[in-house]
Structure 1
Amino acid sequence: MKFYLFFFCMVLFVSCGLQKQMTATRNASTTTKKMVREESAALDTIQRMLQGKTENLAVDSIVNSAIQTILGKLNSRLNSAQQLALLLDATAADKARFRKETPDILTKLIVLDSFNAARKRREEVYTMLKESVSTAKYRMYHLAAFFDPGVYKIPPAAIGTIATQFAPVIDSIAQLSNKYAGIAREARIVFVGYSDDTPVLESGPLYKELSGILNKENPTQEELNQILSDLRAKEMVRNIKLVINARSSKFENFNSLTLGYMGYGKGEAYPSTTITDYKPTDERRRIVLSYWIVLPLASAL
């Protein structure tokens, strides 16, 4: 099909006079450059929004990196179209060169026309990305709601509490995912665990278990709290998977939605830069933060 389209365009293009060919080339280039300017401005707006969300801790480093990767790919595509348009401009400014390179010019024009024709689809992706970034936020969970003291496993009896606590996040993900069900997309869910300076007693079973996981004799309390926060974050991931699978009916085309999960711990690091009166033993530090976002897949870009 592509071959016949190429052949038809070639016959149509070659059948025109040289001046018309050059005019058509310049017109296509002008259209592309205008689109690139407008779409670059839209992506710059999203980039600024993301910077603000990052500064306000509404997105974590994992979510930020995922969005930056998408913005990078979208900008790269715009840059490629811009360079192609500029190349055609230079060619159309020289009749002798234009006449000599006509077959190659036609190939480039088809690429440019394909880019121009796909603008509506790209704008849908931009709209989705802008809404995803603008609504990005975190949800805080106090560890006492899920974990008994001195453990990192959520007991099965707490599944009802888990479902209730996770419901707002799942509802938000489903709402945004369903709104853009026509776009290949993925939902990313990240849990970040924190701990205060409460020591893990050497005489207790948790100390022995964590030491074994670290594969280290005499680990420091900081190392123990780091791995403990990491394990609790991963335990939250394990449980939200169960809840989402149980509530898959909330999602349109659930089987076509890619779900990505990540859990990691930050140990004794302070969860917030705006709180200046943290104490060594402080329940405000014994938390897990949840971040989520719905993004277009690479195949949709």
Structure 2
Amino acid sequence: MNPNLPLDARERVFAAASQIFEESGRQTMPTVDQVRRLAKVDMHAATAAMREWRRQQTAQAAPIAVAVPEVVAKANEQAIAQLWTQAQELANQSLREAQSAWDAERTELDQMRVELSDAFEAQADELEQAKSRIEALEREARETAEIAAVEIQKLRDELGQVRGELGAATSRAERAEATAAELEHRVDDLRAELERAHGDVDQVRAEIKRAATDAEGLRSELAAVRAKAEAAEHAHQEHRKEAAKEAQRCADKVLAAAKERDEMSKATADARESAARLAGQLEAVQAQNKALMETLRGKVGGNG
């Protein structure tokens, strides 16, 4: 037993080699690399343990040559000679068997060297593949880092642009708020002016109503005067003339009242037209204010 080989590693190598040997029907010796992979040990431990395991598999009992005792030699030289000859033959046979065992062990060692060479080459290939994979991963990581740096810079640029746009939008919003306040003030002025126009219309309507009442009174008075004139026509001619004059005066009053009523009607129409115009301006200002506020909300919402 190799004293430098850990016991647990030796046992794992023996178990792995026996398992592989049995799986092959005890026809093919397992290689060092197969045992190393299955036992999960290093190459040194696998090599040392496999050398011992193979010696155990190929060990055979060899005859031992024994020297002829002196008493036997003196007793019968002939028999001794025969026995000695047989002993030499046995010794030669043992030598041949030892030579065969040595040749087998040398063959086994040569095979093990080949297996070790193959195993080291396999490990070198695995190491080269691992190095290539590590280099590829490092290259991929560098490329990923470069792409990430570019993306981060792009995001920073976009953030600066968004901040600039947000500042501009804030300035526009402040100006729009000032404009909206001015528009609201203008709307209040237009409303006040519209209320005054409505008051003027109401006043004109009241005056027209009074003028109509006065005209109706004049008509009644004119009818009464005409009735009196007709009644007094036969009484006296002078009285008729006087009545005619009075009737003319009443007629002039009626015409004057009608003219005043027409002027009142025109003033009312002008007042209505002014009120309609102010109402249109008020609606236009309100629509403009609403559109402006919706535009501001849309821009602020989009920047957000």
Same fold judged by TM-score > 0.5? no
Hey, which of these two has a bigger chunk of strand by percent? 1
Structure with greater contact order relative to length (CA < 8 Å, sep ≥ 6): 1
TM-score range, shorter chain: under 0.3
Q: Which has the larger radius of gyration?
A: 2
- TM-score, with length taken from structure 1: 0.22
